[in-house]
Chain A
């Protein structure tokens, strides 16, 4: 009787321990993978057109969805913000609200989420399919390191594209906010831009937004190439790896955003 209880507790403790060591081992594996990618970066940059091609696929082809989303997010933000600010007679502060929300949070986070689903999933599927069709193995046979030829350019393509996409998202969002706030609702244009300029600081607001988007870009790209490289070489494996990329990247972005916001803006807000 009592041995059953002890055995039961030991079973659950063992499962808990197994889960924790599994997570730690996975993290260590990802870290080693990142080091390997960084180690092969000089070799990848020596053929810069590979990285440029990835910037084209991850960055340029994401432009339409990023710009359209930014525009609409800014417009909605402006519309909703106006409704609330109007109650306190502070509708001229709309510029600050739209700009700060976009530059600090929404720009990097939403651009990161869109980037994860638009470009991250494509990277995972591409590398996973290369693995499934044994193209990676073939490269190794030809003494071409797939980390340098395939993985590193995709990683850097994402890292470079992401801050630019986030900045464009914020800029178009502010433009959308301007269209709704000034053109449609009729807030004074001078107040809109003037309040915005007075309330938004390059340091910490704009720079921290750029730092955030850089971190998100690195995280999403790393997750995407890792999941693709470690995908089970079957059709099902590639499918589940692609799904995992989107889910894990999105959760990572939101968690990292919270942590970074705590460190970046706690002091700035308390004054």
Chain B
């Protein structure tokens, strides 16, 4: 095997190898996604973020428009503050509602944005005022059981103590 043949084969090998790495990066991985496109940051605070993870998608009408970049706890209000990175191409009005949703029963947790009708748009660093927290299944079950129990307790007497709701903030109440 002379030297030029070896050089040729090594050249082919290295080229094909880098091709494979490129294939893994571009076709398998999401190298060209919203991460690279210019974006701006929005903040939203939630009572409870449930199973939201970093890099979870932010969707508007089902279309991915950004990613969750950071999650931290506000030390004063004990709310979870989520930083969203939104693609520069998409603008959202001031009265946009951010909700933590789950796609399917076992599916991924994402943040859904419902655009409002306000003409003033959110800018970099702004905070989304209206939010809906994640639905915690345990809470729903306990609420359901509590309602059933109070229903049967009030079955004979007057129903003046109707629908006791667990203490929740206004945004959570709006969901029901």
Contacts and interface: CB of A to CB of B under 8 A. Distances in A.
A33 interface: no
A201 B29 contact: yes
A198 B13 contact: no
B18 A206 contact: no
B20 interface: yes
A103 B6 contact: no
B53 interface: yes
A88 B14 CA distance: 41
A197 B10 contact: no
A56 B18 contact: no
B10 A164 contact: no
A206 B10 contact: no
Among B10, B13, B24, B31, max chain A CB count under 10 A is at B24
B13 A60 contact: yes
Contacts, number: 83
Contacts of B25: 202, 206
B169 interface: no
B23 to A, nearest CB: 5
Given A55-B10, A206-B25, A168 B30 contact: no
Given A167-B21, A167-B24, A206-B28, A49 B3 contact: yes
Interface in A78-112: 88, 90, 99, 103
A88 B105 CA distance: 11
Given A55-B14, A174-B24, A200-B29, 10 more contacts: A52-B7, A55-B10, A56-B13, A171-B24, A201-B55, A202-B30, A206-B21, A206-B24, A271-B53, A271-B54
Interface of A: 49, 52-53, 55-56, 59-60, 63, 88, 90, 99, 103, 161, 163-165, 167-168, 170-171, 174, 193, 196-198, 200-202, 205-206, 209-210, 271
7 contacts: A49-B3, A56-B1, A56-B9, A59-B13, A60-B12, A163-B21, A171-B23
